[in-house]
Amino acid sequence: MAAVAHEFTVPADREAVVVTDLAKAYGGSDAFAIEDITFEVPQGQFLTLLGPSGCGKTTTLRCIAGLERATRGRIEMGGDVVFDASSKRDVKTEDRPIAMVPQSYGIWPHMTVLENAAFPMKYGRKRVKEKGDIRTRAMNVLEQVGLADFADRWSTRLSGGQQQRLALARALLCDPDVLLLDEPLSNLDAKLRVRLRGELRQFQQQFGVTSLYVTHDQAEALAMSDTVIVMNQGKVEQIDSPEALYNSPRTSFVADFIGSANLIPIEEGTAEASGVVVAKTSVGQFRCETVSTTTPGELTSGFVCARPENVMVLPVHDERALAEGGIHAKVTAAEFLGDRVAIDVAVGGLTLSSSMPGPLRVQPGDEVAVLIRPGDCLYLDR
Ligand SMILES: Nc1ncnc2c1ncn2[C@@H]1O[C@H](COP(=O)(O)OP(=O)(O)OP(=O)(O)O)[C@@H](O)[C@H]1O
């Protein structure tokens, strides 16, 4: 086995990962799978690449892992350049300070749980010489992920969730500076996914390992991450905390992808110097905040964005609706969903979705008033 070519240690004041202007075109084609990808991951952070199928998440992760060679750009880890297209520097995957948890777990079926966990300490980048140490460290991490009792079991005799935990334990035992996870929960059923995402986040915090996670599941991204990068068609749409993405989406794509959003096209409007937009739409006039970098003046495009939970459906003669300018609308769909009711209404040639606490008091065909308060909507310029 070849000797370790690079020793990386992340100095405390350095970002764990810095990606600059990364672009990748496959097979010499002109079409870029990813382009202009620039971001930083501070040490100990959990950062997620989120976006629909084909937007370039896996390509970005594989470039960082050194499994794909980017066409342009630069990647640093802990201050060391591991890839630079212009100087043709390209550190091999096995010499980058990473460990990867793939979608398919990558567990070796001909080994026991303990042998799988111990593998990186015997053959990986950071080898451990003492056999006793290897066993102690492996058992310690297996204990932490709840697999110590299964140490001598064949790895194929684990459930999907247990195999996932073993894959994580083995990756942690590589002692990586950066943990890369590519949709690691996607093969599990919905309930287990929810449980394991909480556990995974807990392990990540416990071990303090910088993590880069890929998913197309927005709930997973919001629940687990310190920072989320929303990608669309090979580019970055927004980089923000889960709260900021939800409350202050900067594009209509982000607004619609994170949770759900009513996007009401504006016909004309005015951006005031205070950052407030007064917008006329087919549904009525709105006075709303903007997070877009809108210069004061007349507006002819963009959207008023309102989350379904901020669209109130009230009886036509409700006092609040009358006092606060409720809009007359007709119910087109109404469902009781247990913890809430989902109601669609037709108004101004559009369908608006509402999500409110129960009980369900309306049915399709009912005339209602719809109320969206100024503080509950946002202007987006695209
Ligand atoms: N080996 C390849 N050769 C050619 N094109 C590729 C290759 N791998 C990916 N692509 C293309 O690059 C684009 C980005 O793919 P990528 O797998 O990175 O997206 P993704 O966001 O991870 O999607 P998913 O969530 O479906 O895994 C897609 O258009 C895809 O078809």
Q: Which tokens is 216 given?
A: 């197309």
Judged against a pLDDT cut of 80, whether residue 380 lies above it is answered with yes
Gap from CA of 60 to ligand 1 centroid (Å): 10
Q: List C-alpha distances in Å: 234 to 48, 54, 72, 225.
A: 15, 8, 14, 21
* Helix, strand, coil percentages, rounded to 5, for the chain: 30, 35, 35
CB 286 within 8 A of CB 372: yes
For residue 7, the model assigns a pLDDT of: 41
CB atoms within 10 A of CB 166: 24
Gap from CA of 201 to ligand 1 centroid (Å): 26
Token look-up 């590589």 returns 174
243 by DSSP, 3-state: which?
helix
| 285-289, 292-296, 298-302, 328-332: range with lowest mean pLDDT | 292-296
CB 148 within 8 A of CB 158: no
Most ligand 1 atoms within 8 A of CB, residue of 26, 61, 103, 182 to mutate: 26
- How far apart (Å, rounded) are the C-alpha atoms in residues 105 and 186? 10
**What is the residue with the minimal CA distance to atom 30 of ligand 1?**
54
Gap from CA of 83 to ligand 1 centroid (Å): 20
Judged against a pLDDT cut of 70, whether residue 284 lies above it is answered with yes
Judged against a pLDDT cut of 80, whether residue 119 lies above it is answered with yes
**What is the residue with the minimal CA distance to atom 7 of ligand 1?**
26
Q: Give the torsion through C-alpha atoms of 281, 286, 292, 294, to 10 deg.
A: 80
Helices (H), 252-315: 252-257
**Mean pLDDT across the stretch 4-21?**
67
**326 contacts: CB under 8 Å, gap ≥ 6:** 314, 318, 320, 369, 370, 371
- Tell which atom from ligand 1 comes closest to the C-alpha of 51: 21
Token look-up 């996607």 returns 186
Q: How confident is the model at residue 29 (pLDDT cuts 50, 70, 90)?
A: confident
**What is the residue with the minimal CA distance to atom 10 of ligand 1?**
33
- Exposure pattern of 144-160 as b/e (b: 16+ CB <10 Å)? bbebeebbeeebeebee
**Strand 227-232 to 46-50 pairing:** parallel
Q: Bigger pLDDT: 299 or 5?
A: 299
- How far apart (Å, rounded) are the C-alpha atoms in residues 358 and 338? 8
Domains of the chain from N-terminus onward: 17-246 (3.40.50.300), 308-372 (2.40.50.140)
- Tell which atom from ligand 1 comes closest to the C-alpha of 55: 21
Most ligand 1 atoms within 8 A of CB, residue of 37, 50, 57 to mutate: 57
For residue 3, the model assigns a pLDDT of: 33
For residue 11, the model assigns a pLDDT of: 54
Judged against a pLDDT cut of 60, whether residue 9 lies above it is answered with no
**What is the residue with the minimal CA distance to atom 3 of ligand 1?**
26
**Mean pLDDT across the stretch 309-330?**
92
For residue 126, the model assigns a pLDDT of: 80
CB atoms within 10 A of CB 334: 20
Q: How confident is the model at residue 122 (pLDDT cuts 50, 70, 90)?
A: confident
**Mean pLDDT across the stretch 269-297?**
87
**Mean pLDDT across the stretch 283-298?**
83
Gap from CA of 225 to ligand 1 centroid (Å): 23
Gap from CA of 243 to ligand 1 centroid (Å): 28
| 18-22, 31-35, 86-90, 186-190: range with lowest mean pLDDT | 186-190
Gap from CA of 98 to ligand 1 centroid (Å): 22
- How far apart (Å, rounded) are the C-alpha atoms in residues 265 and 96? 47
End-to-end CA distance of the chain: 54
Q: How confident is the model at residue 27 (pLDDT cuts 50, 70, 90)?
A: confident
Q: Bigger pLDDT: 174 or 35?
A: 35
For residue 289, the model assigns a pLDDT of: 85
Judged against a pLDDT cut of 90, whether residue 67 lies above it is answered with yes
β-bridge partners, 309: none
**What is the residue with the minimal CA distance to atom 16 of ligand 1?**
56
CA-based R_g, the chain, Å: 25
**What is the residue with the minimal CA distance to atom 9 of ligand 1?**
59
* Chain mean pLDDT for the chain: 90
For residue 20, the model assigns a pLDDT of: 98
- How far apart (Å, rounded) are the C-alpha atoms in residues 132 and 314? 69
Nearest to 366 by CA among 320, 312, 316, 300: 316
Q: How confident is the model at residue 293 (pLDDT cuts 50, 70, 90)?
A: low
With a Cβ cut-off of 6 Å, ligand 1 is lined by 26-27, 33, 51, 53-59, 216
Q: What's the pTM value of the predicted model, to 2 decimals?
A: 0.86
Cis preceding-peptide flag for 359 (omega within 30 of 0) = yes
Q: What is the pLDDT of residues 85-99, one digit of tens each?
A: 999 999 999 999 999
Most ligand 1 atoms within 8 A of CB, residue of 59, 230, 231 to mutate: 59
Q: DSSP label at 318?
A: -
**What is the residue with the minimal CA distance to atom 8 of ligand 1?**
59
**168 contacts: CB under 8 Å, gap ≥ 6:** 101, 145, 184, 200, 203
**Mean pLDDT across the stretch 284-301?**
84
Angle of helix 131-144 relative to helix 113-123, nearest 10 degrees, comes to 130
Q: What is the pLDDT of residues 123-139, one digit of tens each?
A: 877 887 788 888 999 99
Q: How confident is the model at residue 209 (pLDDT cuts 50, 70, 90)?
A: very high
Gap from CA of 26 to ligand 1 centroid (Å): 9
Gap from CA of 69 to ligand 1 centroid (Å): 14
**What is the residue with the minimal CA distance to atom 25 of ligand 1?**
53
